[in-house]
Amino acid sequence: DFTTGAVPTSLPSLTVETPNEELAPRGYLLTSLLTSPLAVVLLDTDGTILWWHFVQSEQTAIGRVRLAAAGDAILYDLFPTYGADPGDPVHEIIRVSLDGETVDAQSTPGAHHDFAQLADGTLAYLAEDRRDVEGEEIIGDRLVELSPDGTQEEIWTTWDDIPYDPAYVPPGPDWTHCGALLHDPVEDVYYLSSHNLDAIWKVDRATGDLLWTFGGPRSDFTAAEPGALPYHQHHLQQKY
């Protein structure tokens, strides 16, 4: 057990508005603050900050924040602004012990937005995949695994299966812009959410094969009614 003491005055005071108390979820929210101060925080349903960790880095963003599978630490990914100089060294997944005494960082080159953790300790993350297309640098996405021993392996890249079509995306280098990653341990597959292509992809972890595309210009599914397919989504969630 440990206590955190008084909440620093540099952290904001929060209020919670609940339209229906009976339907309000109970529990805790693990999230991040993206403005000064850059921090990871744990809130209760009243908006009280119970735990915090200040990020000692500049010009960076925090994507996903997760409780470690063992329940003994907090994990979060740290990266520069999406699309920034690829030489920026700040691409890491940080592990902070609950008592705040231990902070470990693992390098995740090109990482952004989201990561997932597997039962064996493997971490999977989204990373930029920059390619030259007729003299213009275009940013796709890679799915990379980081094993507990530090080995990194590319599982899949959008360039393998998704044809680049400049007519479908906004002008500029930002092509697929994946914003969310989910691992399903039952099927041992990954789901990736592409904001700019309005698509969700299912990828087999063992083979790296693209199993299907849901939404977007190359969807394997049709909608029963208008608006049923994804559109500019930035997250996804699986229900069991």
Predicted pLDDT of residue 184: 96
The whole-number average pLDDT for the span 83-96 is 81
Determine contact, residues 194/159, Cβ cutoff 8 Å: no
Q: Residue 90 and residue 74: Cα distance in Å, rounded? A: 18
Predicted pLDDT of residue 84: 67
Determine contact, residues 50/79, Cβ cutoff 8 Å: no
Q: What is the pLDDT of residues 26-69, one digit of tens each?
A: 889 999 988 778 899 999 988 999 999 998 776 678 989 999 99
**Which tokens in the block code for residue 167?**
């007519």
Alpha helices in 36-120 (DSSP H): none
Per-residue pLDDT for 217 more than 90?
no
pLDDT-derived band at 106 (thresholds 50, 70, 90) equals very high
pLDDT-derived band at 213 (thresholds 50, 70, 90) equals very high
Per-residue pLDDT for 238 more than 80?
no
Mean pLDDT, all residues of the chain: 90
The whole-number average pLDDT for the span 15-21 is 84
Percent of the chain with pLDDT over 70: 96
The whole-number average pLDDT for the span 236-240 is 75
